[in-house]
Amino acid sequence: MEKTIHKQINETIYRETLSNGLEVMLVPKPELEQTYGVFTTNYGSIDNQFVPLGEKDMIKVPDGIAHFLEHKLFEKEDHDVFQEFTALGSSANAFTSFTKTAYLFSATSNIKKNTEILLDFVQDPYFSKASVEKEKGIISQEIQMYDDQADWRAFFGIIEAMYQNHPVKIDIAGTVESIQHITEEDLYTCYHTFYHPSNMTFCLVGAFDAEEMLAVIRENQANKSFEPAEDIKRDILIEPTHVDLVHHELKMPVVTEKCMIGIKETPTSNPTQFIKEELISEMILDYFYSKSGAYYQELYDLDLIDGSLGFETERQLSFAFSLIGANSTDVEMFKNVVLRQLDTFRTYSFSDIEFKRMKRKMIGGLMREMNSTSNIANSVSQYHMLGIDYFTLLPTLEAITKEDVESFMHQWIKSDNVASFFIKKATSDE
């Protein structure tokens, strides 16, 4: 077991790669009451074309199958896994993202038993034709519910405008039509390809003894057999750097119209560059568009927003984008003002005082995130799959210079990498 001490942030992480390939990461924090465990596979909604384990030919599976599989793993032949966690006084959940599927528990006691239940249920799939058909109805209702939510439609609307080929443009849950094609055989194919221990991580953060917990995990995994590990071959789509649609819109029965602005970016697989670009883009957006930001204030003073403005940046190995969006009384004017503001990024220069204030705020936010067991566990796992040690984010942030930020900012906005999307009010006859 490898032990790494990060003195700057007073964190210690233990790592071990088990013989079956599972990456185990333990972060003991005895001062906390709550312990959080997360079992993550490097498999998400965008992984819809791949070569199955033990085969040679690329296949395409129905959109939404990663999310469907997440739902089905909780259901066993004779019981529901949630009941096992509830009996221990703990809670369990799961989520599917574009690139990951994670299963988790939160508990204040019985950590060893909770860990064993989590590992066992994820590694013991049970799918039947009847249960798959039943789940289609449940997930169809979930999809229809999200289809009625303007915020969700705006989020995927702007992504669809930006991307031409990449499956990131497809809703994580798929469509009502696509999930009808999912079979139990498809689920087993995806499971055996992507749920091999060598494609997964287990991270535990909270009050426990690292040596004892590692012994529990080692024994649990040693009692199971798996096929030999293989490198997973995923289809790599060629995506242009420019946005697919400069503007698109949708009409819905909303009270207030919505506008989203998307910046399509070029992803990087270099871990150091990846972290820097992620931190810098978040820092810039927060500086200008948080409630204390000058550009937020301009939009507010123009009576274009109601306090709902939000922003985010999403970076993965095969795609990257940043979003700014809000409810607005005049979506066209909101779009034009934000586009003008973004255009200033091409030549913007920070004063030393501005830069120090911006960086200090970012450091404070990151340190607050590191006080959350759930955030640490999820972040340690997901950054690890990107080849990044989560606990290096703070020293990386502290090393970023004003010149780094301005260099990134000056080339961030181009003539062809920004798109807009509106949710407009539907009239009574639409």
Q: Annotated active-site positions, please?
A: 70
Structure tokens at 297: 């204030």
Q: Measured between alpha carbons, how far is 90 from 112 in angstroms, rounded to an integer?
A: 12
Q: Measured between alpha carbons, how far is 24 from 381 in angstroms, rounded to an integer?
A: 9
Three-class secondary structure of residue 207 per DSSP: coil
Q: Measured between alpha carbons, how far is 411 from 239 in angstroms, rounded to an integer?
A: 19
Q: In what order do the strands lie in the sheet with 247-252?
A: 247-252, 418-425, 257-265, 320-328, 310-315
Q: Measured between alpha carbons, how far is 359 from 279 in angstroms, rounded to an integer?
A: 10
Of 153, 109, 125, 148, residue with least CA distance to 68: 125
Three-class secondary structure of residue 46 per DSSP: coil
Amino acid at 378: N
Q: Give the 3-state secondary structure percentages of the chain, helix then strand then coil, rounded to 5.
A: 45, 20, 35
Which run of H or E residues covers position 82?
A: helix 81-87
Q: Phi, psi at residue 261, to the nearest 5°?
A: -115, 130
Of 51, 74, 199, residue with least CA distance to 131: 74
Q: In the block, which residue shows the tokens 């602005």?
A: 261
Q: Are strands 247-252 and 418-425 parallel, antiparallel or unpaired?
A: parallel
Beta strands in 48-172 (DSSP E): 49-50, 59-60, 91-96, 101-107
- Calculate ∠ Cα 257-263-267, nearest 5°: 145
